[in-house]
Amino acid sequence: MGDLGEFDSSFIQALEHRPKPNATEAQGIPLIDLSPISCHEDVETNSETDPASIEELVKQVGSACKNWGFFQVINHGVPLDRRQRIEAVAREFFAQSLEEKRRVKRDEVKIMGYYDREHTKNVRDWKEVFDFGVEDPTLVAASTDPDDDSVAYWTNQWPEYPPKFRETCEEYTRDVGKLIMKLMELIALSLGLKAKRFHEYFKDQTSTIRLNYYPPCPSPELALGVGRHRDNGVLTVLAQDEVGGLQVKRRTDGEWIGVKPTPGAFIINVGDIMQVWTNEAYRSAEHRVVVNSVKERLSIPFFLNPAHYTEVKPLEELIDEEHPPKYRPYVWGKFQVIRKRSNFIKLNVDNIQIDDFRIAP
């Protein structure tokens, strides 16, 4: 049962949100081969790259973002051993006693580190997590007050054991960081923008990486590893092990469908900021994680987030008289602080969402 203690009512999902025993497995999820760009620092055509193959990639990425909000990538340029190593140290870390793990426990002040009491939609998740910032320290807004410009720093907490934990996590971060910026270039091109259109937003990025550990659950029919949600950042690059458990809500009928792990692939999903930037040309996908009673599961999402001072609003190039903006601007750092605070207190209402900034038609 891991270190989550006894299974109690805090984990139980409302009847309508409980997982079905036989979820449909997703058919036709886009699987995109990135080999045309995997050896290059960026997507911009150079002498070794065939322009037609880049054009085809751009088309595939645009179609996946528009129709699904998520896709899988293979031949992405992140060495397999990078992924194997981070999975190995993550398993070693989570296998320790609760007392050891809590030496790097996160709280309202230390935002990064280990945690085992996270709630999604005000129901406790059946999981343990370890969070660290891509930038260390990460520059963030200090308060939720719109008139307060003061900043704070989130600093990573690194455990002493396993010995190469920090080094392994930082190597993985560098490689997946390169991949995620190439994906942002493909997305920009698919929208008819310049390849590096989005780069300016990530100078002081607030991106994070999370190690998710889902122990076997005694009542998998009542609980979820992560409740239904949409990622509130820009883009997520997810590594999941062979156990699987990710489910995505199909847009056509609202059915929850399982995403079968593809060996070596990353799952990419569009976040809420991308939905706002593209004025809903690309929409974020609602997803959740189911657990099982037999096998533990590990997943590693890289959440790409912009600088805290970014004003999130539909991009000027994508709005006109026929396509008026669908969202009022909001400051990412203020939004992020409100969201983070909710991880530590059970709210009586749903958390802040981008829908709060939607302009009524």
Asked whether residue 279 is assigned to any structural domain, the reply reads yes
Summarize the confidence of residues 93-108 as an average pLDDT: 95
Residues 6+ apart with CB under 8 A from 339: 232, 351, 352
Q: Is residue 78 part of a domain?
A: yes
Condensed to tens digits (0 to 9), the pLDDT of residues 16-73 reads 999 987 777 877 789 999 999 987 777 775 556 789 999 999 999 999 999 999 999 9
Residue 235 counted as domain residue: yes
State how many domains the chain has: 1
Answer yes or no: pTM beyond 0.85.
yes
pLDDT: which is higher, 343 or 313? 313
Helices (H), the chain: 51-67, 80-94, 98-101, 165-190, 272-277, 332-342
Q: Give the confidence band of 1 by pLDDT, cuts at 50, 70, 90.
A: very low
Q: pLDDT of 179-209, one tens digit each?
A: 999 999 999 999 999 999 999 999 999 999 9
* Length, in residues, of the chain: 361
Read off the amino acid at residue 351: N
Q: How far apart are CA 93 and CA 128, in angstroms?
A: 11
Q: Which CATH number characterizes residue 114's domain?
A: 2.60.120.330
- The pLDDT of residue 120: 86
**Average pLDDT score over residue span 209-220:** 96
How many contiguous H segments (helices) and E segments (strands) does the chain have?
6, 19
Nearest to 103 by CA among 130, 85, 125, 126: 130
Statement: residue 344 has pLDDT above 90: no
Q: What is the rounded distance in angstroms from the CA atom of residue 30 to the CA atom of residue 68?
A: 8
Among 111-120, 155-164, 263-272, which stretch is predicted with the lowest mean pLDDT?
111-120
Percentage of the residues of the chain whose pLDDT score is greater than 70: 95
Q: What is the model's pLDDT at position 349?
A: 52
* 238: containing domain: 26-357
Most confident of 117-126, 142-151, 306-315: 306-315
Order the strands of the 246-249 sheet from edge to edge. Answer: 24-25, 256-258, 246-249, 287-289, 226-229
Structure tokens of 103? 């030496």
Confidence tier at 251 by pLDDT (50, 70, 90): confident
pLDDT of residue 361: 82
What confidence score (pLDDT) does residue 335 get? 92
- Domain assignment present for residue 5? The answer is no
* pLDDT tens-digit readout, 265-316: 999 999 999 999 999 999 999 999 999 999 999 999 999 999 999 999 999 9
Average pLDDT, the chain: 92
| Domain contains 4 | no
Q: Report which listed range, 8-17, 121-130, 298-307, is most confident.
A: 298-307
Q: In the numeric block, which tokens belong to residue 63? A: 């179609």
Q: Is residue 195 part of a domain?
A: yes
Residue type, 343: N
Note the pLDDT of residue 346: 55
The mean per-residue pLDDT over the stretch 164-180 comes to: 98
The whole-number pLDDT of residue 38 equals 81
pLDDT at residue 47, as a whole number: 57
Residue 110 and residue 156: Cα distance in Å, rounded?
8
48 burial (CB, 10 Å; 0-12 / 13-18 / 19+) is exposed
Q: Is residue 37 part of a domain?
A: yes
Q: Tell me if 171 is assigned to some domain.
A: yes
The pLDDT tens digits of the residues spanning 308-331 come to: 999 999 999 999 999 999 999 999
pLDDT surpasses 90 at 213:
yes
What is the dihedral angle through the alpha carbons of 254, 257, 262, 264, rounded to the nearest 10 degrees?
A: 60
For the chain, percent of residues with pLDDT exceeding 90: 79
